[in-house]
Amino acid sequence: MTNLYCSQGHQNPHNSKFCLQCGEKIVENPVISGIQPGQTLGDRYVIIRQIGQGGFGRTYLAEDINRFREACVLKEFSPQVQTPYVVQKAEELFQREASVLYKLQHPQIPRFRELLRLNLQGKESLFLVQDHVDGETYNSLLNIRQQQGLKFTETEVRQLLQQILPVLEYIHSVGVIHRDISPDNLMLRSGDQLPVLIDFGGVKQVAATVASQYYQTGAITSPPSGTLLGKIGFAPPEQMQTGVVSTHSDLYALAVTMLVLLTGKQPQELIDTYNLSWQWRREVTLSPALGQIIDKMLSPLAGDRYQTARQLLQALNPQPVSYPQTQPPVSIPTPPPTSATVAFSPPKTPVSAPVVTPTPSNPSVWTGTNVFIVTLAVFASMGLLAWGFKNRSGDIQGSNPTITSSPNPTETATPEVNFSPAETQRKQKLRDRREQLSINSNFYVNLVNQIFWDTNPSLKGRTLSNNPEDESLRAEWDKTAAQVLEKLSVISFASRRQLGTYTSSERDRWKVEVNKINVGSRSLFDLGDAAFFSVFPEQKSKDFINQPIGQVWYAFVNDQLNALLSKRTFEKIVFPQGATGTTVRGILQPGRGKVFIAGLATDQNMEVKLEGSSKLLLSIYSPSGKIVFLEDSPQRNLSKALPETGFYEFVVVSTSSAEPADYRLTVTAENPPELDPIPTETPTEPPEPTLTETPEPTPTPTETANPN
């Protein structure tokens, strides 16, 4: 019994007649196309599964074998009527639209890869290939909340506006109008919790034009200049009536989207049909400032709306930051990339550190080569003492975590096992969910075993039988498995697929990567710890790195690495001209964080102030990593004379379990000395030293576990 999917890709139980999320009627036994899981298209794209189906073709999740098996999405357009003329014109229109998608290069827009033309079983098909976004649409998130009696809060909507408006500003700057903004076309990406803009309206218009014009006339002509594309209720009146769109058209649809998230109501339920005015205030109470902004975005007269995303951002942030006008800031050139630190949490003993280059004003600073030599000595003498303290013991010399599987890791009932229909269905549902998440079955069984045994220590090592006397325990194991799968779903697709295969070599790679942006691995681990412990809080203070759950920690850190490298959780603090201080602010989702770096110099007087939720923790590290000013600390203020020149790291993380956390970080640095430029050449990373300490042995569990 497999899950059913509507044309939007929403998952539903096998006996569903209508989609539980969008209400679309589901065809239970659709005609299966010739594209099956495991099939390779264009000698490059291996199909994993179908994730959607519409009137013009299907959408598939695939792996790009030419790009290290990266996940991607293939959107098929296969005209029902197949003639050379139809295929040729369809491809011309797609080429035109693909050229628009190709020039969109933004981290919050799925990257367009290529247009693929294939002949499958004698039928011409076109595929748009784009990056895969691992996450949920805001429509799906809203449906989940409504089932719990909840909706989106004003704080969350403000944050969404702050995060998506720069994306609209970007696409508008290159002459692209989305034309179809709605909760279905915004996704919350699992890896970094940022909104992603998907399904640009022009792509859908190509399919609609090819189909409708052919069916009406038997031929395809050029598409009209004005397109009647958009969702009723979301698109502004002029777009639906004339097809004319502008930048403010997207802002109108964005306002409607915000109201739907805030109220849980569809646009038709928020409009007075008599005078066509918006009546949202009877459904939700907002601050006067945001209420006025939404009203202006929804003005029936296009000229009365905000015309650009920049105008709207300025309205959301009307108060500029006031900076002290004292002595001008020192200009600090970019130093070489830092080397990494290895420790995970308090006490995070630095193992390698950013390289400080000597200047005429600071001749005592060593060269990069000398620093590397000293680093090797420090490495050998200090070891990795901090690892065991923060649950990362073992696996220091390259050993792999031991993943021991159950003797018979079966997830569903076999004909020989007389499970009840309810238990059989439950186990099938677990298997479907695991396969959907692309999690290795052996690793999955071992992970659930570990958590199940931790919860029931008296059962550790016991194999649960298929007999009736163990039915209640099997039900508890299955419940644990379901909870684990949902927790793993927040990890990105790419990181999930590696579960069970991570080794210490990943940490070596992470060090090299974060050094390129002048960040040490200590800051990366701060972000990874926050994300991991927000989902698995029971693992705090436990030694888990060599257990199956340790693989999950690796996956969380891998996601945070990608977020850092793409600058989604990383920002360089730059003092404004004539100022000695600056303030950065934002909102952190539960378990998320952000790394800031600031170039400062020896003998400057630094003051740091963090304002915001009590759930925030602050860490501050020196450029060399030898000095830890604060680490995972609730302390809000720090005043120090700086001992080193280079990039100081400031890490803010949220330990909240539910609510977003506002933060305001102010950094002031006075009395800067005169500095000569710091060379920017990249030093060679020293090899890992051979440790003299004997690492803790990797545990090899011999217990057997529930095979279900």
Catalytic residues, which ones?
Answer: 180
Could you tell me if 376 and 524 are in contact, meaning their C-beta atoms sit under 8 angstroms apart? no
List of residues 6+ apart from 538 with CB closer than 8 A: 454
99: its two tokens: 């050229």
- The H or E element that residue 262 is part of is helix 247-263
- Residue 11 DSSP SS3: strand
Which neighbouring-strand residues pair with 563? none
4 phi and psi angles, rounded to 5 deg: -110, 150
- The H or E element that residue 4 is part of is strand 4-5
572 phi and psi angles, rounded to 5 deg: -90, 125
Give the residue from 372, 380, 446 showing the smallest Cα distance to 409. 446
DSSP state of 78: -
Could you tell me if 147 and 161 are in contact, meaning their C-beta atoms sit under 8 angstroms apart? no
- Separation CA 88–CA 133 (nearest Å): 30
Residue indicated by tokens 């005169």: 674
- Separation CA 397–CA 380 (nearest Å): 13
What is the SS3 string spanning 187-250?
Answer: EEECCCCCEEECCCHHHHHHHHHHHHHHHHHCCCCCCCCCCCCCCCCCCCHHHHHHCCCCHHHH
What is the SS3 string spanning 408-451?
Answer: CCCCCCCCCCCCCHHHHHHHHHHHHHHHHCCCCHHHHHHHHHHH
Other beta carbons less than 10 A from residue 279's beta carbon: 11
Could you tell me if 629 and 621 are in contact, meaning their C-beta atoms sit under 8 angstroms apart? yes
Other beta carbons less than 10 A from residue 457's beta carbon: 7
| Long-range contacts of residues 32-36, Cβ cutoff 8 Å, at least 24 apart | 33/58, 33/120, 34/120, 34/121, 35/60, 35/76, 35/120
